[in-house]
Structure 1
Amino acid sequence: MDSPSGLGRAPASEVDAGAGRILGIAIPTLGVLIAEPLYLLYDLAVVGRLGALPLAGLAIGVLILGVVSTQLTFMTYGTTARAARKHGAGDDRGAVQEGVQASWIAIGAGLAIVAVVQVGAGWICAVVAGEPDSAEAAARWLRIAVWGVPLILLTMAGNGWLRGVQRTRLPLAFVLAGEVVSAVLCPVLVHGWLGAPQLGLAGSAVANVAGQAVTGALFLSVLLRQQVSFAPHFGVMAAQLLLGRDLVLRSLSFQICFISAGAVASRFGPDSVGAHQLVYQIWNFLAMFLDSLAIAAQTLTGAALGADDAEGAKRLAGRLTLWSTALATVLALGFAAGHAVIPTWFVTDPGVLDRVHAIWWIFVCLIPIGGVVFALDGVLLGAGDAAYLRNITLAGGLLGYLPMIWLSLAFGWGVVGIWSGLATFIVARCIAVLARAYSGRWARTGADV
């Protein structure tokens, strides 16, 4: 049987990967991870010139779409885990079929989301915004931008199966192509440059959808070139959705905790909420660096287990955890050394800086622990151990972090209490993933998750 174009069984050098192979996956993946946040900053800068109301509308619309996208990241992570297993086992057609079936889910789920948002955009934006003019601006943007959701989900599915077969440069090229199209069109359509109609805030949404169409089309084109059947296979889709259920519940617990943390921080005044948001955004940015290694861990672990090499998977787990912890430690040392200077790059208000310094050392201490957690999260995702990750995240978040957040409000612990809750959450997850990794029960071999 011929292999799909450009694919083949993972050789031993990939199963027991060295530094070159790990970086070959991690570096392009990092590019994909940071491309969207960087574009969002650019989009905000373009729309910001229109004034406060369009900027508020964009911020609210992006927040709503961001919540939807976050809950559907299983389209990438679940597909990677399943495709990597197939690739490691030499089942090239099976690996690509994971991408095909994930793409069918993407189209169906994407169109359903479009329908719901078109009907409920006004109400959704009103609930989030609370202010009528901002809500109306956000709804106008959202009704256009939501047409990009099926394309975003196609991109997630494509990213997933291509990561699974360890072709990470193509996703980077495809994502960058779409971002370039959006970046060119955004100011042209928002401000009416080069003779184009001046669409204002709506121009941002149109530019977003245009870029997403380019990226989605590129991912779809590489899938269509593979020598496989494109008929829907409901058994495979059901298995993907079962894995996705665990990942969605895990992601939802994160969202509940982080939204609660922001809400409680705001009740301690603008200094506290500003400090919390600043340090939290820096944490998220560092998480992208660590997540690039976690995705390499996921991809390579899945391939090793698919190739029936449990010992190789365990060696990879140890090696990648050491790499991630070392990187995180270097980052922590840098932020420790810059404790007096780095916050002033972002804010000069004395009250906010005082609250930033109050939580800075908690943040610094969490970075190396996060290195362990991110790496082993990737290993366990690659092993298809999503149910375990779901359980420990729900337990740590809803029984540890969330109570600490609200106790901080009740007893006036302030932003220090909120970040102590985050520390409890990260440490609990670290203990849980280390225990699971040490047990070896995750290292189940075979082509299926």
Structure 2
Amino acid sequence: MNDDPTQDADDTTHLCEQQVLGLAIPALGALLAEPLFVLTDSAIVGHLGSAQLAGLGTAGAALNTLVNVCVFLAYNTTAQVSRLIGAGLRKQGLARGIDGLYLAAGIGLLLAVVGVLGAEPIVRWLGAGTQAAPYAATYLRISSVGLPGMLLVLAATGLLRGLRDMRTPLLVAAAAAVVNTLVNWILVYPCGLGIAGSAAGTAGVQTAMAGAYAYIVVRACRAEGISPWPDARAIRASLTANFALLVRTIGLRVYWLAAVWAAGRLGTDALAANTIAGNLWITLALALDALAIAAQALVGHELGAGRIGQTRRMVARMNRWGLWFGVITGIGLAALSPVLAGAFTSDPAVARLLTPVALVTAAFLPAAGVVFVLDGVLIGAGDAVFLAWASLACTAVFLGLLAILFAAHGDLTWLWVAVGVFTLARLACFWFRARGTAWVRVGAQAER
């Protein structure tokens, strides 16, 4: 173990100014490209009408839930692969990534069946009104066909991040975002398919992305002399070990679905405005997540190599970057808030609701920047059990705030204040955890 303070300080200076930016900048491009799929759908579908936009919001929340509960396919793969690489075990790291791809394909097929067969009851459960429900069911049913591809993209991206290859996901995601915009517009307007065309376009592009990643990974296996076939025992072990991270993600999705449900209770216009605000929040939050992605790969690598002092200094530096990144994006969103609505909707009622929500969102982005960094640090360290408990506790806080909101007859702006308080609760949990030592575990395998 190398824990010499002088050597660590020299290495960390180079790491923070070279490697972190070298990972975070392309990760930022890839993360911005991915939510452009949803923002493109919002901009295209939004001009069809508020009912279609509200339907997209409900279906999008359901679809994102089905996908994001499986985000461990990316996160845990990154952590496992980066640890093994840090310990000098490259072939074993690549093999674990292959197992993740097969696990993703199996889960994706199961979720596709759920989405196709259960579209109507799912959107009704989420509170879609009579006007929005048919559009929501149509979008969810068609988009669910692309779920296997979406999950394969998650797993493959996690593998490449663990190998500290951020360039390939950036190129694939950027190309897909451009193609998605063109295909969706053609299907929705010239072809006259409406919201169904938007769903079909997005599902098709995601499936094409999965095919591109599969080709890249198979080629890498051949170069390393590794079999591209899965290890069934490793897949079962991975699924079991990821349970805590799955619970963490479910807690976060419950909070987000509860917010969508609450917006639906406030009316169709409120749900439409919440759809736009939610997509903006996700886009900006994932932009902040670029540092978290770098943290996952680097923390796993450094702990795998046994460099504790370097890891702590790197975390402190990245927290500062996360804070300032949040400040900058918050100022930008606040400045653009008066003109944002026109890009997504022509309905004046929806536009009036959106402006104050955008300002509230901007106020909480600095806290979100630090939250995302620390979340990435703890994921990279394999601290999944703590993340699961923290997620459940913060979600409980948010649900309590929703009860107060409805009792006080609060509006959409106050709903987003509750979202901000949820972010602050996560910040408090992560900050106190990071100050301790329980998350610091070195070696090729993090203790479970």
Q: TM-score, normalised by structure 1?
A: 0.82
Aligned pair in 2 of structure 1 residues 231, 55: CA closer, same or farther (>3 Å)? same
- C-alpha separation in 1, matches of 2:53 and 2:263: 23
Question: Which letter does structure 2 place at the counterpart of 1:441?
Answer: A
Q: Does 1:434 align with 2:428?
A: no
Aligned pair in 2 of structure 1 residues 235, 16: CA closer, same or farther (>3 Å)? farther
Matching residue within 385, 395, 405 for 2:402: 405
Matches within 5 A, 1:306-385: 306-333=304-331, 338=335, 342-346=337-341, 357=356, 360=359, 363-385=361-383
Decide whether the 8 Å contact of 1:276 with 1:356 is kept in 2. no
- C-alpha separation in 2, matches of 1:266 and 1:297: 36
Question: Which letter does structure 2 place at the counterpart of 1:185?
Answer: V
Unaligned runs of 5+ in 1: 1-11
- Residue aligning to 2:93: 95
Matching residue within 208, 215, 233 for 1:214: 208
Per-residue CA deviations over 1:67-114 (Å, capped at 9, x if unaligned) read 211211111111111111111111111211121111111111111122
Question: Which letter does structure 1 place at the counterpart of 2:100?
Answer: A
Question: Which letter does structure 1 place at the counterpart of 2:35?
Answer: P
User: SS at 1:346's partner residue?
Assistant: helix
Matches within 5 A, 1:35-434: 35-47=33-45, 58-128=56-126, 135-191=133-189, 201-225=195-219, 226=221, 227-264=225-262, 281-333=279-331, 338=335, 342-346=337-341, 357=356, 360=359, 363-398=361-396, 400-412=397-409, 414=411, 418-434=415-431
Q: Does 1:446 align with 2:443?
A: yes
- C-alpha separation in 1, matches of 2:153 and 2:127: 29
Decide whether the 8 Å contact of 1:65 with 1:146 is kept in 2. yes
- Residue aligning to 2:7: none
Per-residue CA deviations over 1:381-424 (Å, capped at 9, x if unaligned) read 110111111111211221x2221221122234555654554444
Aligned pair in 2 of structure 1 residues 49, 419: CA closer, same or farther (>3 Å)? closer
Per-residue CA deviations over 1:200-244 (Å, capped at 9, x if unaligned) read 554434433332232111111111121312333234323432343
Question: Which letter does structure 2 place at the counterpart of 1:168?
Answer: M
- C-alpha separation in 2, matches of 1:143 and 1:416: 31
Q: Which moved more, 1:422-431 or 1:160-169?
A: 422-431
Question: Which letter does structure 2 place at the counterpart of 1:244?
Answer: N
Decide whether the 8 Å contact of 2:323 with 2:367 is kept in 1. yes
The alpha carbon displacement at 1:140 in A equals: 4.5
Decide whether the 8 Å contact of 2:77 with 2:96 is kept in 1. yes
Per-residue CA deviations over 1:230-278 (Å, capped at 9, x if unaligned) read 3332343234323432233222222322333344456567887677666
The alignment's C-alpha RMSD in Å is 3.5
Unaligned runs of 5+ in 2: 1-9
Per-residue CA deviations over 1:351-409 (Å, capped at 9, x if unaligned) read 9759955994x6455333222222111111110111111111211221x2221221122
Decide whether the 8 Å contact of 1:243 with 1:386 is kept in 2. no
Aligned pair in 2 of structure 1 residues 261, 190: CA closer, same or farther (>3 Å)? closer
Percent of paired sites with the same residue? 32
Q: Which moved more, 1:294-303 or 1:240-249?
A: 240-249
- C-alpha separation in 2, matches of 1:186 and 1:354: 27
Aligned pair in 2 of structure 1 residues 271, 158: CA closer, same or farther (>3 Å)? closer
- C-alpha separation in 1, matches of 2:157 and 2:77: 9
Aligned pair in 2 of structure 1 residues 371, 98: CA closer, same or farther (>3 Å)? same
Aligned pair in 2 of structure 1 residues 182, 432: CA closer, same or farther (>3 Å)? closer
Higher relative contact order (Cα pairs below 8 Å, separated by 6+ residues): 2
- C-alpha separation in 1, matches of 2:263 and 2:58: 19
User: SS at 1:445's partner residue?
Assistant: coil
